Amino acid sequence: MSSARYHQAPYSDNQGGYSPSPQPYSDGQDYNDSTAGLRANEYPMNSGNPYAANASHPQRTPKKRKWLWWLLAAILICVIVGAVVGGVLGSRAAKKNDNGSSSGDAGAAATGAPGKDGNTAFATGTKGADGGNTALPTLLSYWATNMAAQTQSGVNGQVYMAVATDTNMLPAYVTGTYTAGYAAPTNDPQPGKNGAWPSDNSPPSSSSPRAHPRIIAPQYKWDALNNGLINGDPYLSHWHKIIIDNATATLNQPPTPYDIDGGLAGSGVLDVARQVKVKVKNLAYAYRTTGETKYVDRAWLELRTASGNNPDVPFGNGTTAWNGEGHFLDLAEFTSAFAIGYDWLFDVWTTEQKTVIRNAIFNMGLTYGVNALTGTNSYNWWTGVAPGKGNTLIDGNWNCVNNAGLTLGALAVMDEDENGMAAQILALTGPDAEANCFQGAYSDGTWAETPNYWYFGTTGAAEMVSALQTALGGDNGVSLATGSPGFKFTSLAHMYVTGMTAKFEYGDHGPNKYSATANSLFLWSQIFNEPRYSLYQRDQYDASEPFSMFWYDPTVEGAWWADLPIDRHFDDKKGEWATARSSWTDNSGTYWAIKAGTLLNHQTHGDLDLGDFVFDAMGYRWAGELGSDQYLGKDYFSSEAQDSPRWNYYRKQTEGQNTILIGNANQLVNAAAPPTTWNSSGTAQGVAPYLALDTADTAYFTMDMSAAYGTGASVKRGIRFLNGRKQVLVQDEVTGPSGSSIMWRMQTNATVEAQGASATLTSPDGKKCKVDIVNGEGSFTTMQPTHLTGTAPSDEMPNPGVTVLVINNAAGGSLNVDVLFSPEWPGESNSVTPSHVALDSWSLTSH
């Protein structure tokens, strides 16, 4: 089976979104997996999960790419089979959320604390069973015999909340009503021995920098890990084993080759740089926690080769090999890799080895950085607005990653800074990042580029903040994050943008994420005193990588979802969107998200997508995103102007989105952000991993996106939950210019049977969702995901396996339709058919 799919995988490469679930990884480097499913040995913290082997798993470079499917495991996918009578109700909060603290100081906490009263969560696989656990009996039996070793209690009583990862690589929770041992997110005030980081007995300062190792992982933390902290925490111990296994798997591999992707001015050697970085991190970590010099030897092979000093392996052209002039990201990641290798292994390098690594940092990295940051070359656009030397704000991953790499490089060699270059870099990168990178999180936390570029930007930002703080102490680095209002909430944005199957993947989703993860949440958790962020991320499959070992605070405890509203409106007009769900812990529930905001200033990674929405139910994405197109395509990143060739790609133009299309024309890029209305019942999930909802419980969002369609158009859209969040209504009220066709479009991977005003969507595993026009005119038809007019770019990616569900008024004039999505829930038949209510009259009680 090889049909393509819209993007549902947490990690993907620049070939576009095609996987219905994460792919098995096999890159010819001894990491291999061909199975998936709801299995204990695929839980993120388990060494049997190859995806966890180096955080965001390495993926083969695009030119070698093959589309792969997971083989589904025999013990199946669905955890939930129905509602629980007498379930624990979530706390009812204010009707409109704000951007306040997420620490969960409201609502009643459960009785019992970690380490007490039933704390052996899932040790027998039956926690919650007596309280109405809804897991399939076969799964309970499976967990009972296989989970005990994975849920051992740490010195602070820590246990795994999640019991597995599902086929979408999201944490799976037993959704019973048992609450003992659950509590709101907090920190243990009295951790046990080896249950917390010790105090820094030699804090550095700007005038007295820390000795090596100083970058992210200071010596006192290495000592703590090696002297009991790893063994004292089940998460740290599992991550540690995974990192060691990954480093060991690298030992017999050849050094990373100099494979150029699309020319040096295309994607260059970015994949190469990030692979080198991941390997060096893992190998250096493995040596410092085992003392085995085989890891040092293998790290040296990697660094020697990437510095151009291995006569057996050609690696670029001298000091230009890191490609700063063609694609500066490559240089930044190489510099970061060399900085970590130099710093973490400083005590074991010979004088000759130090010279080789140090010269590479200066001559292949920092020299180009000084040139860019002082404006003496043509590749300084990424430095952004003043004090940068570019012309526009670069509030995205380029500025973050580049400044981070240069900062780490400078910190690594600052003691041997004979020409003052390192000091010059450190004086330049902080202000430049503050003016650009740290504007990447809007005031509500939304990332300025796209949800997937969030990974690159926040990883770079976190590396820079952490390295400055550990090397120089005080407020160094930390002030960059705390000085940006949006960084306090960007972790929340990441949590909310993740649905029941995948993220709300609007816009481009980026290249391979070899070294980019969501583990910055561990750092932001500490900086912003939000234990929820850390509790959330530790259950994710990309958590197991070296930086997590130093950013994670083992004193965090509680259920990350406790007292967390299930709906949120991200209201910054530059990137406005809204989302609502039925639960934080039941991945078979419902989720919708919808896009508003502006179409410009997203670092040429956005789509023409006002009104675009996604919908998840029963573990399947019924309305989905197509993701990136061909990154190496001609003029793909040319501009965001109305006539940009970028908008000729189907996945980027309006007809490739789940929205309204008038006259087969793209939305207007300069349109003002639509006026919007948002409201929610304000439900927050309680401490139990189960949430029962009233039938009236809802959330809705309406928008007037008329300005995006030009003169003569009135286009309003609304989306809301009905029937206790078991159904979703999408309502459109559209008037267009005379003679211009009006089309309602939705991209889906499901098989579609359209009959008049009804359509039946069927997933590959037989789940069904009815879609009905319950009010208004028109009927459903289907189309292929190809251009309606014009000629497709010659390098455009195809979209096999995708069907477009359409309501088409070819004559134009108006299109007023209420479209009801009704998943066919197992054992239930209590769907509702709403009466029509004009969008301007919607309220919490209107339906």
Q: What is the pLDDT of residues 800-816, one digit of tens each?
A: 999 999 999 999 999 99
If you compute the radius of gyration of the chain from its CA atoms, what whole number of angstroms results? 26
Residue 745 sits in a domain of what CATH number?
2.70.98.70
- Whether the CB-CB separation of 468 and 404 falls below 8 Å is answered with no
**Which SS3 state, helix, strand or coil, does residue 191 take?**
coil
46 Cα distance to chain centroid: 21
- How many CB atoms sit inside 10 A of residue 694's CB? 12
Q: How far apart are CA 554 and CA 369, in angstroms?
A: 37
What is the pairing mode between strands 727-738 and 714-722?
antiparallel
Q: How far apart are CA 684 and CA 584, in angstroms?
A: 9
Condensed to tens digits (0 to 9), the pLDDT of residues 57-92 reads: 322 233 322 221 121 222 222 222 222 112 222 332
Question: Considering the domain boundaries, does residue 261 fall inside one?
Answer: yes
- How many CB atoms sit inside 10 A of residue 690's CB? 28
* pLDDT score recorded for residue 160: 66
Structure tokens at 577: 């969107």
Pure H helices in 516-558? 520-527, 531-537, 546-551
Whether residue 431 is preceded by a cis peptide bond, meaning omega within 30 degrees of 0, is no
Which residues have a Cβ under 8 Å from the Cβ of 427 and sit 6 or more positions away? Answer: none
Count the domains in the chain. Answer: 2
Question: Considering the domain boundaries, does residue 139 fall inside one?
Answer: no
Q: How far apart are CA 543 and CA 43, in angstroms?
A: 11
Condensed to tens digits (0 to 9), the pLDDT of residues 666-709 reads: 999 999 999 999 999 999 999 988 899 999 999 999 999 999 99
CA angle, 490 then 488 then 625, to 5°? 10
Percent of the chain with pLDDT over 70: 80
Residue whose token pair is 């991993």: 689
Domain boundary among 384, 402, 427: 427
Give the residue from 402, 395, 495 showing the smallest Cα distance to 441. Answer: 395
Domain boundary among 427, 446, 463: 427
Report the number of secondary-structure helices (H) and strands (E) in the chain.
17, 23
557 Cα distance to chain centroid: 23
Region 252-269 average pLDDT = 95
What backbone torsions phi and psi does residue 162 show, to the nearest 5 degrees?
-80, 155
- Whether the CB-CB separation of 613 and 719 falls below 8 Å is answered with yes
Question: Considering the domain boundaries, does residue 472 fall inside one?
Answer: no
Q: How far apart are CA 3 and CA 19, in angstroms?
A: 9
- Whether the CB-CB separation of 14 and 631 falls below 8 Å is answered with yes
| Amino acid making up residue 683 | T
Question: Considering the domain boundaries, does residue 800 fall inside one?
Answer: yes
Domain containing 625: what range?
A: 598-672+694-841
Condensed to tens digits (0 to 9), the pLDDT of residues 364-391 reads: 999 999 999 998 788 999 999 999 999 8
- Whether the CB-CB separation of 634 and 711 falls below 8 Å is answered with no
C-alpha dihedral sign at 505, 510, 516, 522: negative
Domain boundary among 410, 427, 444: 427
Question: Residue 562's pLDDT band (boundaries 50, 70, 90)?
Answer: very high
Question: Considering the domain boundaries, does residue 451 fall inside one?
Answer: no
Question: Considering the domain boundaries, does residue 338 fall inside one?
Answer: yes
Give the residue from 755, 743, 732, 717 showing the smallest Cα distance to 811. Answer: 743
Altogether, the residues listed in the chain come to a count of: 847
Question: Considering the domain boundaries, does residue 789 fall inside one?
Answer: yes
Question: Residue 475's pLDDT band (boundaries 50, 70, 90)?
Answer: very high
CA angle, 840 then 843 then 847, to 5°? 105
* pLDDT score recorded for residue 192: 86
Residue 401 sits in a domain of what CATH number?
1.50.10.100
Q: How far apart are CA 327 and CA 79, in angstroms?
A: 45
pTM of the shown model: 0.85
Distances from the Cα of 484 to the Cαs of 395, 436, 569, 575, 814, in angstroms?
12, 11, 20, 16, 44
* pLDDT score recorded for residue 688: 87
Structure tokens at 117: 């009263």
Instruction: Provide the mean pLDDT of the chain.
Output: 83
| Amino acid making up residue 643 | D
